[in-house]
Structure 1
Amino acid sequence: MIHINIAALAKLRGIRHPHRHLIKAGISDKVAREYLRGKKDRLVVQHIEILCELFNCSPNELFVWQPDNKAKDTPQHPLQVIRVQPLPDTIQALQQIPVAEVKKLMENLQQQKQP
């Protein structure tokens, strides 16, 4: 089954209060809660653009796939691209890297941002 991946994207982006960010971006309180709980079974087209801008992602990254049964779980299935993957705790991972390595990582990120 395909699920909305908003809470995981917020965590990955280091957004501590995703509900506030969604409301500030123009999504209603009720819908924001449903998105974050993964309880919403559809996305409004306008929300796809808002969410992609908010999380700096592509539309396919808004979703994750968990196969319902083994018959659907084949390595060649196109949905493998959005299959549920464990999400690392980004902050905790960075805290375990030596400071010099974090500085190098930040330099690499800055170079990638430059045209």
Structure 2
Amino acid sequence: MFRKKRGNLTPRQSSIILDLHPILKARDIRFPTAFLIKAGINNRTVTNMMNGTAVQLNFRQLTNLCLSLNCTPNDLFTVRDMQLPENHALHALPVSGADDDLPTVAEWLAGKSVEEVKTILRGK
């Protein structure tokens, strides 16, 4: 029997994409490749994820990412150039590139006094 060849696996310009940059920046992860490999994702897949060319993600990888980054799947995906109806549920996902100006944890803490940080940590 002949197996049918897979079609083009290049992600379309308008699609849901895996965008790890905002969560990695928010978690102040300075060496994302090493972090993701340590989380159990192979080197080639990590390269594709970081370049924005990943076209598939299995549940093991998704689970490892969520556990390692302490996040939900919605924190890992963004929408790129999609025209959606006004009431569509995908509007809950961020738009690709919209959070590029988010500060890192270190940058955010640099502007806080010790007392402000203590108050925030205590939840008051």
TM range (shorter): 0.7 to 0.9
Q: Amino acid of the residue matched to residue 86 of structure 1?
A: D
Residue 65 of structure 2 corresponds to 51
- Two-structure CA RMSD over aligned residues (Å): 2.0
Kindly state the Cα deviation for residue 75 of structure 1 after the two structures are TM-superposed. 4.2
Identify, as 1 or 2, the structure richer in helix.
1
- Equivalent positions of 1:26-105 (< 5 A) are 26-68=40-82, 72-84=83-95, 85-87=98-100, 88-90=102-104, 91-95=106-110, 97-100=111-114, 103-105=115-117
Q: Amino acid of the residue matched to residue 62 of structure 1?
A: L
Kindly state the Cα deviation for residue 92 of structure 1 after the two structures are TM-superposed. 3.0
- Show structure 1 runs of 4+ deviating over 4 A: none
1:79 aligns to what SS in structure 2? helix
Kindly state the Cα deviation for residue 20 of structure 1 after the two structures are TM-superposed. 0.3
* 1:66 and 1:83 in contact (8 A); partners too: no
* Residue of 9, 20, 25 corresponding to 2:39: 25
**TM-score normalized by structure 1?**
0.77
Structure exhibiting the larger radius of gyration computed from Cα positions: 2
The separation in 2 between residues aligned to 1:106 and 1:30, in whole angstroms, is 41
* 2:22 and 2:99 in contact (8 A); partners too: no
The separation in 2 between residues aligned to 1:21 and 1:52, in whole angstroms, is 13
- Work out the number of aligned pairs and report it: 105
The separation in 1 between residues aligned to 2:18 and 2:37, in whole angstroms, is 17
Unaligned runs of 5+ residues in structure 1 are none
Kindly state the Cα deviation for residue 26 of structure 1 after the two structures are TM-superposed. 1.1
Percent identity between the aligned chains? 26
Unaligned runs of 5+ residues in structure 2 are 1-14
